[in-house]
Amino acid sequence: MNTALPATLDHRLARFPFPFPEDAYRYSANVEPALTTVATPAGSWGDKLIEIDGDYRAELAERDAILRRDPSRLALLDHMRPAAWDALLTVLETLASEYPEDMEFSRAGRACRWNNRLLGEEWEFTVGDDSSLPGGPLGFLSSQVQEDIVLLDQREDALWLDGGVVTFAADWSMGFDVGMRFLEVHGPVPRIREEEIITRAQQFLMRLQPGQDYRRSNWTMTVGRRLDTSIETYPEWGPDRTSVADDPALPARLHLRVEVQHLVRLPRSGALMFLVRTHLASLEELATVPAWRERLGKVLAELPEDMADYKGISRYRHAASRWLLGA
Amino acid sequence: MNVLELAVADSKYIAPDIREIVLRRISAGQQEVLPSYIPGSHIVIECGGRANAYSLTGSGDSPEEYRISVQLRPDGRGGSSAVHRFRHGERVKVSGPRSAFPPVATARRHLLIAGGIGITPILSHLRAAAAWGREAELLYSFRPGHAAHLEDIRALCGSSPSLFLMEFTERKAFRTGLAEALRRQPLGTHLHVCGPLGFMDSVIAEARSACWPESRLHLEAFGAADLDPGKPFTAHLARTGRSVDVPSGTSLLEALENSGVPVPNLCRQGVCGECRIPVSKGRPEHRDLYLSESDKAANTTIMCCVSRSHEPHLELEL
Ligand code: HEM
Ligand code: FES
């Protein structure tokens, strides 16, 4: 099956961070240094901290619309203001160095100038003055990158999810989780507490120093090219999980959803920044790469029931696997 | 760890035995700004075959230079004499800033306490407090005529209504001032102290006796965030009969890779579990977060990205 694909799709697959190194998937503390390029059968990914692609404008417009409808997707506890400014400066500096053609950042004292040619926007703002940017530092930052942004404070020997803008959550809620400890945030995930994965991950994260950026990937499945699968909108997308199972259009509707998550110790405030960049590819698209088709088919068939239940894919995963392995 | 090569751009004596050194990038231009740092961070300077940690004294926000203040120790400990001999323009290898003494974002108020040269990380905290309008009170104890940065500090505290300064040149007055300060802080104040060990101990003891909870007491513990470079040892590969030397500062994983023995790995930080190797003889010095306590006690496996050997020889099933 090697149908010709439209150019945009080729681009998506070429940068797609296919997450399975083996035919079976289990949770592990799968963290690795950021900025190492990974070659795939369709191209490569991983050479950038912030990933801008052909869907840049569309995804930013979607985030803007979501935030207007539901401002609770942005949360920032008071003590995280310096962290939000730090996140803004750090990400704008990164954008300027990773996309020098399109992005420019300069600073003199507290006065900053930001030029985003992709959006045709130019801004001047003052570090620490929340009113100098629309949406404040965090809201503004979320209008410049496709990544969801989470900020964690470190204190009392723990990490606390004390701020962020998350419009593209995979079945969780920023408004609900804000103020929680890292371990509590991971409370619903099966296995990882017993296997001490999450306590080890926390210890590791607490020792991360500025400049030592790390990343990991995570995955689930989504019906439709839908980025917003947060708990708040469950009634809109939840029923699809059942209807897709015996829909002949399953291969086109069902998407593998991969999150590339970056872990960055912010260098001024000391907060931990967690960036989540969500990639979607339908089974039909993935099946154009034979190695991916087979690998995903096997992973879905083998996945233990508790993990499949947690990911919300139990109802259709075997149908998906059969199509991938049989088609 | 990222290493910066900087040049000594300026220096001056700011007290009879304390020299302030200013480090900048070698080639000015585009890349002029140095990596930002978290208040209270230190850099590690290599000199005279030793590596020493020194606190950075700025606020840490997009600095164009790193400033350290180094006290000359008569016994030459801490490499201070080598640093005091730095010439202008001299190139220096410096580790990127490391944070082990950060401010607490949720603190309602900061009680900063410095003894002598311990003022250096505290000054960094004070500058950041000034920049963000945080409330802070500084108790600074020093020998008369030997105070580093006193003018800076007075100017900072004079310029901001939320910063308060108390100076002490006598031990007894400091004790009384400290006892009072500890009792007058509002709930939610965090205490940060830096100075000679005995000084820090007595401040912490006084705070405990004034019923401060441990979670509000913070003392500078240099380099606690780093794994030390470790002693050199030799790894013997039982299956191939080869020997691989592992120098101080090189990990076992790096040494194996350098001698053409690839080992699967991911995090290189002792957390993911990928780089596990069976051990057949010797006692590994376990420094990872992956193995359980009983795994570690058994001494039959080692996470080679961070762990080393207690003894000069370690035999691996490779
Ligand atoms: C530091 C920032 C991190 C944040 C803010 C974060 C947040 C979250 C959230 C909100 C969920 C969904 C939980 C739910 O169902 O309500 C989740 C899932 C998960 N997280 Fe994290 N996480 C972080 C880092 C990590 C790290 C370093 C690991 C490494 C082990 C990890 C492992 C997992 C796993 C295994 C899941 C289950 C995912 C699935 O099966 O779909 N997380 N995380
Ligand atoms: S490489 Fe991850 S534990 Fe060693």
CA B268–ligand 2 middle distance (angstroms): 4
Share of chain A above pLDDT 90, in %: 93
A187 Cβ inside 6 Å of ligand 1: no
Which tens digits make up the pLDDT trace of A258-299?
999 999 999 999 999 999 999 999 999 999 999 999 999 999
Q: Please tell me the predicted confidence (pLDDT) of residue A229.
A: 96
The confidence score (pLDDT) of residue B265 equals 86
Contact of A216 with chain B, judged by CB distance below 8 Å, is answered with no
HEC string of A157-196 equals CEEEEEEEECCCCECCCHHHHCCEEHHHHCCCCCCCCCCC
In a domain, B120, yes or no: yes
Of B99, B104, B267, the CB nearest to A209: B99
**A209/B98 Cβ within 8 A:** yes
**Mean pLDDT computed over A296-324:** 97
Name the token pair of A40. 């795939």
Q: Which residues of A touch B273 (CB under 8 A)?
A: 28-29
Instruction: Please answer yes or no on whether A31 and B271 come within 8 Å at the CB atom.
Output: yes
| Structure tokens, A286 | 């993935």
- Residue that is last in its domain, among B55, B70, B95: B95
What mean pLDDT is predicted for residues A143-161?
97
In this complex, do B104 and A155 lie within 8 Å of one another by their Cβ atoms? yes
Per-residue pLDDT tens digits of chain B, which is 318 residues long:
578 999 999 999 999 999 999 999 987 655 579 999 999 999 988 776 667 789 999 999 999 999 999 988 766 555 677 888 889 999 999 988 989 899 999 999 999 999 999 999 999 999 999 999 999 999 999 999 999 999 999 999 999 999 999 999 999 999 999 999 999 999 999 999 999 888 999 999 999 999 999 999 999 865 333 457 789 999 999 999 999 999 988 999 999 999 999 999 888 888 888 899 999 999 999 998 888 888 899 999 999 999 999 999 999 999
Going by C-beta distance under 8 Å and a sequence separation of 6 or more, which residues neighbour residue A85? A127, A128, A137, A268, A269
Q: DSSP 3-state assignment of B73?
A: coil
Q: Which residues contact A295 (CB under 8 A, 6 or more apart)?
A: A18, A20, A23
Rounded average pLDDT over A35-53: 96
One domain for residues B175 and B75: no
Tell me, yes or no, if A268 comes closer than 8 A to chain B by beta carbon: yes
Q: Is residue B226 domain-resident?
A: no
Question: Could you tell me if residue B261 is inside a domain?
Answer: yes
**In-domain check, residue B264:** yes
Q: Is A275 in the pocket of ligand 1 (CB under 6 A)?
A: no
A150 in contact with ligand 1, CB cutoff 6 A: yes
Q: How many domains does chain B have?
A: 3
Helix axes A290-302, A314-326, angle to 10 degrees: 140
Q: Which residues of chain A does B104 touch, with a Cβ-Cβ cutoff of 8 Å? A: 155
In tens, the pLDDT along A216-270 reads 999 999 999 999 999 999 999 999 999 999 999 999 999 999 999 999 999 999 9
Phi, psi at A241, each rounded to 5°: -60, -30
Chain B residue with the nearest C-alpha to that of A203: B289
What is the rounded average pLDDT for all residues in chain A? Answer: 95
- Name the residue range of residue B72's domain: 3-95
Q: Are residues B55 and B116 in the same domain?
A: no
Q: Which CATH number does the domain housing residue B76 bear? A: 2.40.30.10
∠ CA(B215), CA(B219), CA(B222), 5° rounding? 130
**Ligand 2 atom showing the smallest separation from residue B265 Cα:** 1
User: Does ligand 2 lie within 6 Å of residue B274's CB atom?
Assistant: yes
Look at residue B225 and tell me if it is in a domain. Answer: no
Q: Which residues of A touch B103 (CB under 8 A)?
A: 270
| Residue A315 annotated as catalytic | no
Asked whether residue B172 falls in the same domain as residue B238, the answer is no
Ligand nearest to the CA of B286: 2
Task: Tell me, yes or no, whether B118 and B209 share the same domain.
Answer: yes
> In terms of domains, do B86 and B143 share one?
no
Closest partner residue to B62 among A107, A200, A210, by Cβ?
Answer: A107
Ligand closest to A169 (CA) is: 1
Q: What pLDDT is attached to residue A3?
A: 45
Of B162, B187, B220, which closes a domain?
Answer: B220
- Max Cα-Cα span within chain A: 62
Its sign, for the CA torsion B255, B260, B261, B267, is: positive
Predicted model pTM: 0.91
Mean of the pLDDT values across residues A46-65? 97
Domain chopping of chain A, boundaries: 27-248+256-282
Q: Tell me if A179 sits within 8 A of A237, measured CB to CB.
A: no
- The tens digit of pLDDT for each residue in B59-91 reads 999 999 999 999 887 665 556 778 888 899 999
Write down the pLDDT at residue A4: 47
Inter-chain residue contact B104 with A83, CB threshold 8 Å:
no
CATH assignment of the domain containing B290: 3.10.20.30
Nearest bound ligand to the CA of residue A231: 1
Cα A265 to averaged position of ligand 2 atoms, centre (Å): 20
Cross-chain residue pair A82–B132, CB shorter than 8 Å: yes
Residues B141 and B203 both lie in one domain: yes
Sign of CA dihedral B296, B224, B35, A79: positive
Among candidate residues A216, A226, A315, A322, the one labeled active-site is A216
Checking if the pLDDT of A314 tops 70, the result is yes
